[in-house]
Amino acid sequence: MMETLTPVLKSHPGPSVLLFSLLFRLIHRLLQRLPVPKVVRRDDLHSWKWRNLSVSMVHSLLTGTWALTCVIVWPETLSNIHSYHTPLSYLLICVSTGYFVQDAGDIILTGHGRGSWEFLLHHALVIWCFLYTLYTQLYVAGAVIALFVEVNSVTLHLRLMLKLAGAQSSYMYHINKFANLFTYITFRLSTQFYLTWYIAHNYSWLDHGGYFLASMIVMNIMILIYFYRLLRADFFSRSKSHLGQNGAQNNNSRKFLSD
């Protein structure tokens, strides 16, 4: 089946991405039928965040597992990120690009672009890089490795959903806090730095190496900033941040990444 499907995807990468984007939109619709905590339903912004994070969780569980499987089954993915790929890894990038297009559209069309501009910048970089790999069939293995970060996204999304549900003091939140730290270092920081090292080390012969190196540097800066915010919020927060002051709470609630 993959032998039949892959040539179609490679011949029409743009429409393929749009198709998977529509499938994620369908998932978004289906997830709305699931029960939502009462505390989340009381606030429109929190309700939107919950729906958005639910779709993101599906994408992270799917693509994070898929990416790890590709590397375990085909180890050459790690050593030849420039030109190596399999039909299954190419399909993975099509699926993931479709999600990022859908998520960017959801953020913009629901009017949350200003509060989530950092996500939109991240999505724009990812979509551009992934589309390049799909159209040129280069760096597909690199894109697969980049999706290791979705393993960490699972714990990040769970963290935010627990906060939306008001469960910051729960045992699950406490356990997830340390799991999130571990996966952030193991699957997000390590992955980004490995890809940056690979591109910098092979810069002289890689196609458009300068663009990809610049993109990786921008993403590295972003994830280090997020890492600092995460440590500050979960491990070095001041007591006043938990007092529930109306002004600060309202300002923070308007920004996705401040959570």
Domain ranges, residue 124 = 2-237+247-253
Are the C-beta atoms of residues 112 and 164 closer than 8 Å to each other?
no
- Its pTM stands at 0.88
CA quadruple 88, 93, 99, 101: dihedral, nearest 10: -150
CA distance linking residue 129 with residue 85, whole number of Å: 16
CA atoms of 74 and 69, how far apart (whole Å): 8
pLDDT of residue 259: 56
Q: Is 236 exposed, middle or buried (0-12, 13-18, 19+ CB in 10 A)?
A: exposed
pLDDT (0 to 100) of residue 238: 63
| H/E element, 78 | helix 76-79
**Residue 258 resides in a domain:** no
Domain count across the chain: 1
On whether the CB atoms of residues 165 and 40 are closer than 8 A, the answer is yes
In a domain, 242, yes or no: no
The answer to whether residue 200 sits within a structural domain is yes
Q: Is residue 137 part of a domain?
A: yes
The rounded distance, in Å, linking the Cα atoms of 150 and 192 is 12
pLDDT at 210: 87
- The answer for 137, left when phi > 0, alpha when psi is -120 to 50, beta otherwise, is left
Looking at residue 241, what is its pLDDT? 44
Distance, CA of 14 to CA of 164 (rounded, Å): 35
Which residues lie closer than 8 Å to 250 by C-beta, 6 or more apart?
Answer: none
Q: Does 45 reside within a domain? A: yes
Distance between CA atoms of residues 206 and 216, nearest Å: 14
Question: 259 in a domain, yes or no?
Answer: no
Is residue 16 in a domain?
yes
pLDDT given at position 7: 78
Residues of the chain with pLDDT under 70: 1-4, 238-259
Residue 240 has which token pair? 């006043």
Whether 51 is in a domain gets the answer yes
Confidence (pLDDT) at 252: 41
